[in-house]
Chains A and B, each alone.
Chain A
Amino acid sequence: MVKSNVVTVRGLRKAYGTRVVVDDLDLDVHAGEILGLTGANGAGKTTTVECIQGLRRPDSGTLSVLGFDPVTQAARMRPLLGSQLQDSALPDRLRVTEAVELFARQHARDGGELLDRFGLAARRKSAFSSLSGGERQRLFLVLALLNQPRLVILDELTQGLDPAARRNVWDAIRQLHADGTTVLLVTHEMVEAEALCDRIVVLRDGRVLDSGTPAELVARHANVAMVHFTWPDPPSALLAEMRVLDGVRDVKRSAGRITVEGSRATIAHVGAVLVRYGPVPADLDVQVPSLDDAMLTLLNGTPAKAGTVPVTDEQLIGGRR
């Protein structure tokens, strides 16, 4: 099924002086999805979303956002966007309710309800300068959602939020997703990306390194599960059996400590063998590969070259490979 695009970027290039920040980037954001844009610092994430928002003029390339060109049709496009920008503020002496009144267009949602939902009801009369970092982030989110946008762009959304507030914001994003709103999320937090994103695009040096669902990225770049346990004098048959289990790559033994490395399926097979051979070791420990591991591998590895990353139809997005 062909998915309609809310954002289509082709060949985007942006340089600051001689430093190329975004280099020949392609990106598609499908209608109704949450797309995560991630990568190391200076990878070009913020510049990319700023070009999408029409806040920066690309050096070359074409962009279409909700059918509009952000360079020439920004005035018609921006009312349809909800933006939470990195490194921006409101006037110090502007109060919370005044900020909501200032940003609310004619058919805006009930600002009071949004303030309640994001735990800012008690801070309605407070000046922006008196808000904590987390409260500011939540206010920016309220402002981003206020005008029922069709596309929400969130840059470092949960920076500075405590765990409870972060969960609260994640729930709001999931609700947006359920309501059919498209979300473009710039994040460094892999837990956040894994929890929220349908797809993730990884950037490095202004180019797309890889893209896919969180599970696909983990499978491609961090598919090593490890099982550890202590068995001081294991029967030789046990070790021999483990070495030939499905998906096992290596079995190591050191001072009674045994480590089995392999695919995710290895975990189940090793567990079954342990149950058969006797009491399960009390210190049995399992390390499952995470998106964080995948990112570390991906960002610390060699740059993806043309054709080196397996591409499915679903992944035909992002930079030119």
Chain B
Amino acid sequence: MNAMGRLIKAEMKLMVRDPLVLTFVFAFPIVTMLIIGGAFGTTPTPAFENTNPSHWYVASYLTVTIAAGGLVMLPVHLASYRERGVLRRFTAAGFPRWSFAIAQLIVGLVTVTVACALLLAVAAPVYGIPALHGAWRVVAALVLGAVAFVSIGVLLGTLLPSARSAQAVGLLIFFPSFLLGAGGPPPHVMGHMVKTIAGPLPLTQLTDAVRDPWLGIGQATGSLLVVAALAVAATAVAARRAAL
């Protein structure tokens, strides 16, 4: 097996053993989706663009797993590696320059994919999975969003000096994004100021790009383009920063 393969294999095992991954990326979105998905019933209302509120949150919470992976899991993981000299050891051992960045991207994407699958598996018997109205747009948004947030996570991990600071900053970005852009109240019940703040957030854009075509609310082409641009920019910067 080549260096990249060995690195991916080892990092996969470590991800599964990381309590932060298990709680934040796997458990947290599922538990909160189950709670809030049942809070507003299943009757379509204008606040939820005349869709089933439970389905609204099932479609929204896939992006919560993506944000949790990108904003909480990866920054802590990478900052801890840098702080403890793990990256220096990889560098000294001759791992190829781009191997670590690519391994993190792949491991991040796999983790997010598994977390999304788990979330849907739990949602299916409880609230049902809403029908996909614009499948390719949803898939494109999920893939681009995962790449964007994983890259942002890698970038934060290379910028923040320690695991503790990465955790603090990651949570500080994650929770407002989560409440305003995915897992909180729908935009229609937000006040003007809050809606203005929530609108441009990356997680709001991603959630719109996934939820709107999924539930047949709209195309969300603008949001999809924003997420695509974010994915390209974040990946380019993160790959440079995470090169060994």
Residues of A within 8 A of B (CB): 53-55, 75, 78-79, 81, 83, 85, 87-91, 93-94, 98, 101-105, 143
A81 vs B85: C-alpha distance when bound (angstroms): 18
A250 vs B162: C-alpha distance when bound (angstroms): 59
Given A85-B89, A91-B86, are A75 and B94 neighbors across the interface (CB < 8 Å)?
yes
Binding stretch for chain A, among B11-19, B183-191, B216-224: B11-19
Given A93-B17, A101-B6, A102-B7, are A78 and B85 neighbors across the interface (CB < 8 Å)?
no
**13 interchain pairs, CB-CB under 8 A:** A53-B92, A75-B96, A78-B94, A83-B89, A85-B85, A85-B88, A88-B86, A89-B86, A90-B86, A98-B13, A102-B9, A103-B93, A104-B6
Q: Which residues of B contact A53 (CB under 8 A)?
A: 92
CB distance from A85 to the nearest CB of B (A): 6
Q: Which residues of B contact A78 (CB under 8 A)?
A: 91-94
Q: Which residues of A contact B94 (CB under 8 A)?
A: 75, 78-79, 81, 105
Residues of B within 8 A of A (CB): 3, 6-7, 9-10, 13-14, 17-18, 81, 84-86, 88-89, 91-94, 96-97
A100 vs B95: C-alpha distance when bound (angstroms): 14
Nearest first, the 6 A-B pairs at minimum CB distance are A88-B85, A78-B94, A83-B92, A89-B84, A79-B94, A93-B17
Other CB < 8 Å A-B pairs besides A79-B94, A94-B13, A103-B93, 19 of them?
A53-B92, A54-B91, A55-B92, A78-B94, A83-B93, A85-B88, A88-B88, A88-B89, A89-B86, A89-B89, A90-B86, A91-B86, A93-B13, A93-B14, A94-B14, A101-B6, A102-B6, A102-B9, A143-B93
Q: Which residues of A contact B92 (CB under 8 A)?
A: 53, 55, 78, 81, 83, 85, 88
CB distance from A147 to the nearest CB of B (A): 8
A79 vs B94: C-alpha distance when bound (angstroms): 5
Where chain B touches its partner, the secondary structure class is: helix
Q: Which residues of B contact A101 (CB under 8 A)?
A: 6, 9-10
Between B7, B10, B86, B94, the greatest number of chain A beta carbons within 10 A of the residue's beta carbon is seen for: B94
Q: Which residues of A contact B86 (CB under 8 A)?
A: 88-91
Q: Which residues of B contact A91 (CB under 8 A)?
A: 10, 14, 81, 86
Q: Which residues of A contact B18 (CB under 8 A)?
A: 93
Q: Which residues of B contact A75 (CB under 8 A)?
A: 94, 96-97
Between A83, A101, A102, the greatest number of chain B beta carbons within 10 A of the residue's beta carbon is seen for: A102
- A102 near B10 (CB under 8 angstroms)? yes
A75 vs B91: C-alpha distance when bound (angstroms): 9
- B89 near A90 (CB under 8 angstroms)? yes
CB distance from A98 to the nearest CB of B (A): 6
CB distance from B224 to the nearest CB of A (A): 36
Q: Which residues of A contact B17 (CB under 8 A)?
A: 93
Q: Which residues of B contact A83 (CB under 8 A)?
A: 89, 92-93
A143 vs B95: C-alpha distance when bound (angstroms): 13
A87 vs B6: C-alpha distance when bound (angstroms): 24
Q: Which residues of A contact B88 (CB under 8 A)?
A: 55, 85, 88
- A87 near B85 (CB under 8 angstroms)? yes
CB distance from A145 to the nearest CB of B (A): 12
Given A83-B93, A103-B93, are A88 and B84 neighbors across the interface (CB < 8 Å)?
yes
Q: Which residues of B contact A105 (CB under 8 A)?
A: 3, 94
Using CB atoms, name the residue of chain A closest to B77: A91
Q: Which residues of B contact A143 (CB under 8 A)?
A: 93
- B93 near A98 (CB under 8 angstroms)? no
A212 vs B93: C-alpha distance when bound (angstroms): 30
Q: Which residues of A contact B3 (CB under 8 A)?
A: 105
Q: Which residues of A contact B9 (CB under 8 A)?
A: 101-102
CB distance from A106 to the nearest CB of B (A): 9
A93 vs B97: C-alpha distance when bound (angstroms): 24
Using CB atoms, name the residue of chain A closest to B92: A83
Q: Which residues of A contact B91 (CB under 8 A)?
A: 54-55, 78
Q: Which residues of B contact A98 (CB under 8 A)?
A: 10, 13
A170 vs B46: C-alpha distance when bound (angstroms): 76
CB distance from A149 to the nearest CB of B (A): 10
